[in-house]
Amino acid sequence: MMLDKVDEQSSSPQTGEKCLDYLERLFQRHGELVGRHPAVFLIAPLLVAGMLSIGVVNVQMADDMRQLYTPPGSVSLDEYRQHSQFLSDGNYSTSGVFYIGIARRDGGNLLQLNYANFIDQLNQFVLNNLTFNFEGKLLSFNRDVCSKSISCTKSNEVFRLIVDAYFNPRLTSNADVKLTYPVASIFGNRMFLGGLFGGVQTDPAQGGRISSVSMVHLIYQYPTFERQKLVDSFEKAVRDHLATLVLEDPWNDNLEFHTYSSSTLKDEVSRTTLYALPYFPISVLLLTALLVSVLCTGDSTTSKPLEGLAGLVNSLLAIAAAFGLVAAVGVPYNSTVTVVPFITLALAVDDTFILLAAWHQTDRRLGPASRLGLCLKEAGPAITVTVSTDVFSFLIGVFSSTPAVSSFCIYTVAAILFDYIFQLTFFCAVAAYGGRREANSRHCLFYWKTVDKRTTTTTAPARINPVQRILSKLYAQFWQWPASRLFVLVIYAVYLVVSLYGASTIRVNLTPENLLVTNSPLKRYIWLAEQYIYPQGFSADVYILNAPDMRNRTQLQRVQQFVDELEHSRFAVGHDSTSFWLEPFQRYMQHLGADDDEFYDYLSDFVHLSSNERWTRHLRFDQRPGRRHLLTQFSFTTGFKITDWVSRSDMVVQWRQLCDRYADLKPVVYDEYNFIADQVVSLKTTTLQEVGVAFCCMGLVCALFIRQRDVLFWVLWSLFSMDLGVIGLLALWNLDMDPTLVVSVLMSIGLTVDFTIHMAYHYHRHHEQCWMKRMLALFDVAGWPLIEGGLCTLLAMLSLVFVSSHVASVFLRTVLLVVILGLFHSLIVLPALFTLTHWPEKLSTVSSLVSSKF
């Protein structure tokens, strides 16, 4: 009795119901208008899409990982600016870094005389003899670029020192020469070898002396002068030279050379676009085949294959218009945007099935305009609900702090909105013409053929696709099974447990490798670095940008305290890995008996000694008259080691916390991948916010269209359940949380709600009191279109199987899970959940209904 009262109260006329009734009448009038004047609504979208698509010529490519995945205003961007400014001696030129990884193909030892000399000659050639063409001029890397930065001229100088000492018989037994790893010492000068040598093995019998090296890592930091073409020309010249070395001497074929830079990474990331887009026509062909097959029935007059193809054309028009408009206003295009056409195709074609299913529910005796009006009255609000949820789910991402996510969502929102507009204009106009064809008994494919009305099948089963007829019968028989609800709820409980477990295991991780296609040459470099360099040690640059008065013992001790804490931090190699001019300078002052007040006087003499010239690149002096001997900024390096990219993020966070405690010194600890930390931290803080806000928006939209409280509750619960399943199962599928997965999760929120909202909306609006009758009717008006839409969604994304990239793989897996979980929830779980608050009548009373339907 209580449930009956709740039902009566919830179904009584309310403001929400009146709004829905008004919306239905509005759609009905619009449908009748399009039915009377289809030509206008057919031609106008074509013209609009054609004009807007011209904006594609202004598309701006954005593939810089630092800019794409780092939130604006992030600390790493400021750190990069300060690092570049220091290296370029304050001329505000950005600093480029170019890496050459060298290894033997057989994995053997590079620390042999022939290999070592070859690598040293290669390094000297790059520093002293390399030339390249730039804007019609032949530039010398040494004279025109490298000489502008002291750091560049000293590139890899430690390698030559180690090689000279290692193969010099007189130095091998010298007690002052210790060629150990990760720190070597030559006559008291400590040298950290992390980042230069990788895969190092030592010989304990010789006091830990280096016995073999698997990888040599040459690093060049040079000023770019804000000229990207200069960077590209220099890097191309190096790669061409490496290729020439292999061709000129077959002996070099045993060596593998791998180059890496942010510019190279950007170029490789852009290859994802080139790999994915050529497969888009395959998606179109697959959808064409599906549309023609499922929309052809036993009645050649009522079949709608051409109308289905028009829905496909509708999506293509929306994609063209959206990309043209968004590109014209200057939103950059990046690799994640590549999958937007596939997603739009998947989302948009679903609405075609909903509209055509509603058309088949109308009375054939009515005129085309009236039928189109009734069709939109039934399907218009449902489509509006799904479009609203899709738009809101991606609209949240538009305001994401990650530029790549924001751009992706802007393109997607624009495509969805254009598709919605074109559905109500272009597609409805095609449907109106199809209605006229049907009224005149014309053939669905061959318009010029008139089908004899006496041979036209008018029975309902003949107008239904055979697959639909079979599935509808099986669906009814399943719910007739007395234990069906209990069976569903048990399976659902197991699903929830598995999803919760998977979601609890997901971790935040972001690696450059995930942005590359499978056969990218950079993957080999990244693998070598992850195996040999990062776990054994690499150098980080430390800058003191506000040098204190070093004559003041208290302030000097504060600098030393900062260095000591950094050397004892969690990921640090230790004091021996630090290369700091202060320590040898203090020994120098102590040897001369200098006082603290004479610090700056002796510093100038110290760095001008030939043995100490290498320290000059770490010092910046006041350039004002009368103060030129005063130190304003200085730098040093120290070693760290990590095991994975998550550890790198934790390491950078620890650096920054330490720098905050010594803010008066304005310290900066810099590594080329500091921006990874900002991305990981921002993912941790914003993903839950974005997903939570998106879910709340979905709830508000659903509440506007579904006023029955218990139905609304189960819809929201199912939405949460599906999103939990997507995240949990993706985690169990060995995927980590990165910007691509965040976009996929936001997409899944919009996609999953499409499934439940259609079933719930029609369940809410259906007037049949018998639960079984209502469910069977819902299968025809919503369930079967959802199956068709799910198949279309899969086919639209299926061609991404051939795209060998992480981005494509994540989206494909997400869509696969969304379709499976969406159909499972909408067709199986929701009906069972509805019975928890609306207990159905005895199933034995509806057996005749099932048999009469078929």
Q: What is the DSSP string of 615-673?
A: GGGGEEE--STT-TTSEEEEEEEEEE--SSHHHHHHHHHHHHHHHHHTGGG-EEEE-TT
Question: Are 660 and 721 in the same domain?
Answer: no
Q: Is residue 78 part of a domain?
A: no
Surface-to-core class of residue 19, CB atoms within 10 Å of its CB (0-12 exposed, 13-18 middle, 19+ buried): middle
Q: Is residue 74 part of a domain?
A: no
Measured CA to CA, the distance from residue 282 to residue 740 in angstroms comes to 23
Measured CA to CA, the distance from residue 104 to residue 101 in angstroms comes to 10
Question: Are 38 and 100 in the same domain?
Answer: no
Question: Are 222 and 123 in the same domain?
Answer: yes
Measured CA to CA, the distance from residue 303 to residue 297 in angstroms comes to 5
Count of C-beta atoms within a 10 Å radius of residue 135: 9
Q: Is residue 387 part of a domain?
A: yes
Buried-exposed string 566-589: b where 16+ CB fall within 10 A, e elsewhere: bbeeebbbebbbbbbbbebbeebb
Helix (H, G, I), strand (E, B) or coil at 333: strand
Last residue of a domain, one of 235, 260, 285: 260
Last residue of a domain, one of 260, 280, 297: 260
Question: Are 563 and 498 in the same domain?
Answer: no
For the chain of 854 residues, list the mean pLDDT of each consecutive stretch of 10.
40 56 88 92 94 91 76 86 79 76 92 92 94 92 88 89 90 86 86 91 90 94 86 94 81 86 83 76 84 68 77 92 94 84 80 82 86 89 83 82 86 94 93 83 66 51 65 78 86 95 86 81 90 90 94 94 96 91 92 89 86 84 74 93 87 94 96 83 73 78 75 85 90 86 79 75 62 68 77 83 83 90 88 72 43 43
Residue reference for tokens 């992480």? 806
Measured CA to CA, the distance from residue 604 to residue 617 in angstroms comes to 13
As a three-state string, the secondary structure of 150-203 is HHHHCCCHHHHHHHHHHCCHHHHCCCCEECECCEEEECCEEEECECCEECCEEE
Q: Is residue 341 part of a domain?
A: yes
Paired tokens of 528:
């070598």
| Half-sphere exposure for 757 (CA within 13 Å, toward CB) | 30
Question: Are 369 and 500 in the same domain?
Answer: yes
Measured CA to CA, the distance from residue 31 to residue 737 in angstroms comes to 44
Q: Is residue 525 part of a domain?
A: no
Q: What is the pLDDT of residues 119-156, one digit of tens each?
A: 999 999 999 999 999 988 999 999 999 988 878 888 99
- CA–CA–CA angle 508, 509, 515 (5° rounding): 135
pTM value > 0.75: yes
Say what the pLDDT of residue 714 is. Answer: 86
Q: What is the pLDDT of residues 371-394, one digit of tens each?
A: 999 999 888 887 887 888 788 878
Helix (H, G, I), strand (E, B) or coil at 543: strand
Say what the pLDDT of residue 133 is. Answer: 93
Count of C-beta atoms within a 10 Å radius of residue 188: 8
Domain that holds residue 572: 538-640+642-672
Helix (H, G, I), strand (E, B) or coil at 569: coil
35 touches 370 (CB < 8 A): yes
Question: Are 314 and 427 in the same domain?
Answer: yes
Say what the pLDDT of residue 849 is. Answer: 41
Question: Are 467 and 441 in the same domain?
Answer: yes
507 touches 737 (CB < 8 A): yes
742 touches 402 (CB < 8 A): yes
Question: Are 586 and 608 in the same domain?
Answer: yes
Last residue of a domain, one of 242, 260, 278: 260
Question: Are 295 and 425 in the same domain?
Answer: yes
Q: Is residue 85 part of a domain?
A: no
Say what the pLDDT of residue 42 is. Answer: 93
Query: From residue 596, how far is each of 62, 188, 551, 580 by CA, in Å?
Result: 52, 24, 5, 18
635: left (phi over 0), alpha (psi -120 to 50) or beta: beta
61 secondary structure, DSSP code: B
Question: Are 189 and 47 in the same domain?
Answer: no
Q: Is residue 745 part of a domain?
A: yes
Beta strands in 224-331 (DSSP E): 255-260
Helix (H, G, I), strand (E, B) or coil at 364: coil
Question: Are 372 and 399 in the same domain?
Answer: yes
Say what the pLDDT of residue 8 is. Answer: 41
417 touches 391 (CB < 8 A): yes
Q: Is residue 568 part of a domain?
A: yes
Question: Are 42 and 128 in the same domain?
Answer: no
Measured CA to CA, the distance from residue 117 to residue 125 in angstroms comes to 12
Domain count, the chain: 3
754 touches 349 (CB < 8 A): no
